[in-house]
A and B are shown apart, each in its own frame.
Chain A
Amino acid sequence: MTCAELTRVLADHFAGQLPTEVAHALESHAEGCPCCRSLVRTYGITVELSRDLADVAVPAPVAERVRAALRALAASKEPPR
């Protein structure tokens, strides 16, 4: 596997969708190539950090405000299109 090939299959690697032999080739290449080793690690960190952003809930007053607005709209008898 070359650096270019490794870069192209990174997303499938992190999605766990690489065929076993390709996954082994990736690991073997990364072991001997400091740049690709760094790329694999930092690409993974970037994905993990993005997922951490999902740890946010709707504040209760906001949810309440939205429900009130919806009930007001429904009460105005504007029919769904």
Chain B
Amino acid sequence: MIDADLVRQARQGDVDAFLAIVRACETRVYRIGLSFTRNPEDAADLLQETVLTAFRSLGTLQDLDRVEPWMYRIATNHALMLLRARRRRPEVSMEDVEGRFGEDGHRIGAIPAWPASVDDELERRRLAARLPELAERLPETYRVIWTLGDVEQLTMEEIAAILDLTVPNVKSRLHRARLALRKLLADELLGDGGAL
């Protein structure tokens, strides 16, 4: 965690103190940009924009112990602004993402196993590289929560603070985002045969 004294020094105009804060956050900010834009140049621009915005607005930060989530919130907001200006891919429906169940709670429909090739390291790398593009099909909040939760591995509490959501809400949406991505990956691996 970044020391509040460092934040205080940065607020007094100490650029080196602010740079120390930047060093602690820049990898995640860059990756948030990369995950959303899938473009290294855009991710670099987003990192720079986030850092400059944070420097200009440091005086508005209320809880000096929470400078990191505050930076990620700025990065997420910049990324969302960028995305909203772009043409979006058709979104998947999140309605039946858990599947359909009979009255007895048993699943209706099959979930086929994935091919054994998913255990191969090269195939895993290929599939991982496909995920950001597949995630573009998630509704915006789900995509943000998946990026912060599963890619960046922030805690549910941190994500809730960044997005002004409750922890149960974040947990539920992350779970549903994973189910939707799992289905999109299954469609890639097995063909879009209607399997859940």
The CB with the most chain A CB atoms within 10 A, among B18, B105, B111, B153, is that of: B111
For A22, the chain B residues whose CB sits under 8 A away are none
Q: Are B15 and A11 in contact (CB under 8 A)?
A: no
Chain A: residues with Cβ within 8 Å of the partner, total of 45
CB under 8 Å from chain B, chain A span 27-81: 33-36, 38-39, 41-43, 45-54, 56-59, 62-63, 65-67, 69-71, 73-74, 78-81
Q: Are A70 and B52 in contact (CB under 8 A)?
A: yes
Task: Decide yes or no whether B181 CB sits under 8 A from chain A.
Answer: yes
What total of A-B pairs shows CB separation below 8 Å?
Answer: 151
Q: Are B111 and A35 in contact (CB under 8 A)?
A: yes
In the docked arrangement, what's the CA distance between A80 and B55, Å? Answer: 6
Give per-residue flags for B3-43: 1 if the beta carbon is below 8 A from chain A beta carbons, else 0.
00000001101010011001000110011001100001000
In the docked arrangement, what's the CA distance between A71 and B22, Å? Answer: 12
Nearest opposing residue in chain B for A37, CB measure: B113
For A36, the chain B residues whose CB sits under 8 A away are 107, 111
Give per-residue flags for A1-38: 1 if the beta carbon is below 8 A from chain B beta carbons, else 0.
01111011011000000000000000000000111101
In the docked arrangement, what's the CA distance between A2 and B127, Å? Answer: 30
For B132, the chain A residues whose CB sits under 8 A away are 53
Binding site for A on B (CB under 8 A): 10-11, 13, 15, 18-19, 22, 26-27, 30-31, 34-35, 40, 44, 47-48, 51-52, 55-60, 98-99, 101, 104-107, 109-114, 118, 124-125, 127-128, 131-132, 146, 150-153, 171, 174-175, 178-179, 181-182, 185-186
User: 18 extra interchain contacts, Cβ-Cβ under 8 A, other than A11-B178, A52-B128, A62-B30?
Assistant: A3-B101, A3-B107, A7-B99, A8-B98, A10-B175, A11-B175, A35-B110, A45-B114, A49-B131, A50-B131, A50-B150, A52-B124, A52-B125, A63-B26, A66-B22, A67-B19, A69-B51, A80-B11
